[in-house]
Amino acid sequence: MRKSKDIYYISDGTGIVANNLGKALICQFPEINFNEEKVAVHGFEIGK
């Protein structure tokens, strides 16, 4: 039985960098099935 994990890519833009980094990380675990979801966050500022 294969394990399954949910992965969320959270980005304030297109998500290309987050997606590429995530793919590079999850390819290290071929025995796990990943369910990927992209989430765009707009208008968020830290410290306000």
pLDDT at 23 over 90: yes
The pLDDT of residue 17: 87
Q: Minimal CA–CA distance to 38: which of 30, 5, 1, 16? A: 16
Longest CA–CA separation in the chain, Å? 46
State the pLDDT at residue 31.
93
| Number of domains observed in the structure of the chain | 1
* pLDDT band at 13; cut points 50, 70, 90: confident
Closest CA to 37 of 7, 5, 1: 7
Position 9, amino acid? Y
Whether 48 is in a domain gets the answer no
Q: Whole domain around residue 18: which residue ranges?
A: 3-40
Q: Tell whether 30 is covered by a domain.
A: yes
CA distance 40 to 11: 5
